[in-house]
Amino acid sequence: MKKRFRTAKNLITVAMAALILLLLTAPIGLHAQPAGDVASKSQQAAEVAHEIDSLDQEMGVAAEAYNSVKVDLDAISAKVDANEKRLYEIKQSLAKRRGMLNQRAANMYMQGRTSMFEVLLGTRDFADFLERADYISRIAKEDANLIERIKSTRDSVQLVEDQLSEQKRQQMGLFEQEEAKKAEIQVKLAERRNVLNGLNQDIQKMLADQQAAQRASDEVLNQQAEQSLLSAPDSGLAKTAMRYLGVPYHWAGAGPGECPTGEHKICFDCSGLTMYVYKLFGIDLPHNAAMQFNMGIKITLQQARPGDLVYFGMPPHHVGMYLGNDMFIQAPQTGDVVKVSRLSSRSDLSGITRFNKPSL
Q: How far apart are CA 85 and CA 92, in angstroms?
A: 11
Measured between alpha carbons, how far is 223 from 218 in angstroms, rounded to an integer? 9
CB 89: neighbour CB atoms within 10 A? 11
Asked, for residue 342, whether it belongs to a domain, the answer is yes
Same domain, 255 and 348: yes
What confidence score (pLDDT) does residue 19 get? 38
Is residue 2 domain-resident?
no
In this structure, the strands spanning 349-354 and 309-312 are: antiparallel
Residues 230 and 171 in one domain: no
Give the number of other CB atoms < 10 A from CB of residue 339.
23
Backbone angles phi, psi at 317, to 5 degrees: -125, 5
Please enumerate in sequence order all residues whose Cβ is within 8 A of that of 35, keeping only pairs 6 or more positions apart, or say none. Answer: none
* Residue 169 included in any domain: yes
Specify the pLDDT at position 269: 95
Give the pLDDT confidence score for residue 241 in this predicted structure: 97
Distance, C-alpha 101 to centroid of its chain: 54
- Asked whether residue 350 falls in the same domain as residue 269, the answer is yes
Cα(31)–Cα(27) distance, rounded to whole angstroms? 6
Whether 207 is in a domain gets the answer no
| Model pLDDT, residue 167 | 81
Which pLDDT tens digits describe the chain residue by residue (360 residues)? 444 444 444 544 444 444 334 333 333 333 333 555 667 777 877 887 788 788 888 888 888 988 988 898 888 888 888 877 877 887 777 677 667 666 666 665 565 544 555 555 556 665 665 666 666 666 667 666 766 776 777 777 778 778 878 888 888 887 888 888 888 878 877 887 787 777 777 777 777 787 888 888 889 999 999 998 988 887 899 999 999 999 999 989 999 999 988 889 999 999 999 999 999 999 999 999 999 999 999 999 999 999 999 999 999 999 999 999 999 999 999 889 999 999 999 999 999 999 986 544
Shared-domain flag, residues 337 and 232: yes
Same domain (yes/no): 237, 175: no
The answer to the question of residue 46 being in a domain is: no
**Number of neighbours of residue 321 by Cβ within 10 angstroms:** 24
Residue 238 to residues 180, 232, 302, 326, 333, Cα–Cα distance (Å): 35, 10, 17, 14, 20
Q: In which domain, by residue range, is 315 found?
A: 225-354
C-alpha torsion 322→325→330→335, nearest 10: 170
**Same domain, residue pair 134 and 256:** no
In a shared domain, residues 103 and 167: yes
Q: Tell me, yes or no, whether 177 and 248 share the same domain.
A: no
Q: pTM of the predicted model, to two decimals?
A: 0.69
| 193 and 274 belong to one structural domain | no
C-alpha span between 304 and 328 (Å, rounded):
11
Domain count, the chain: 2
Q: How far apart, in whole angstroms, are the C-alpha atoms of residue 314 and residue 347?
A: 12
pLDDT value of position 247: 96
231 lies in the same domain as 191: no
Q: Which residue type does 7 have?
A: T
The CATH number covering residue 296 comes to 3.90.1720.10
Together in a domain, 139 and 92 = yes
Contact 342, 304 (CB under 8 A): no
Q: Is residue 302 part of a domain?
A: yes
Rounded to the nearest 5°, which phi and psi values hold at 284? -90, 120
Task: Determine whether 329 is exposed, middle or buried from the number of CB atoms within 10 Å of its CB (0-12, 13-18, 19+).
Answer: buried
Q: Are residues 229 and 295 in the same domain?
A: yes
Asked if the structure places residue 14 within a domain, the reply is no
Structural domain contains residue 159: yes
